[in-house]
Amino acid sequence: MGRILWGLGLLVLMLSSARAEILTVATYNLANYTSADRMTAEGYRKDYPKPETEKQALRTVILGLNADILAVQEMGQQAYLDELRRDLKAAGLDYPYAVLLEGPDPDRHVALLARREPLAVQQHTDLAFNYRGSLEKVKRGMLEVTFRTEGGELTLFVIHLKSRLTDQPDDPLSTLRRTGEATIVRDTILRQVGDPARGCFVVLGDCNDSKRSKPLG
pLDDT of 35-79, one tens digit each? 988 888 788 989 888 999 999 999 999 999 999 999 999 999 999
pLDDT at residue 180, as a whole number:
97
User: What is residue 172's DSSP assignment?
Assistant: G
pLDDT confidence tier of residue 8, bands split at 50, 70 and 90: low
Give pTM, 2 decimals: 0.92
pLDDT at residue 194, as a whole number:
87
CA distances to 66, 93, 99, 103, 210 from 119, rounded to whole Å, are 21, 22, 12, 21, 32
Task: Identify the CA nearest to 54 among candidates 95, 27, 89, 84.
Answer: 84
Instruction: Please compute Rg for the chain using Cα positions.
Output: 18
- Centroid of chain to Cα 88: 18
Euclidean distance between CA atoms 177 and 167, whole angstroms: 12
Euclidean distance between CA atoms 35 and 157, whole angstroms: 26
pLDDT confidence tier of residue 175, bands split at 50, 70 and 90: very high
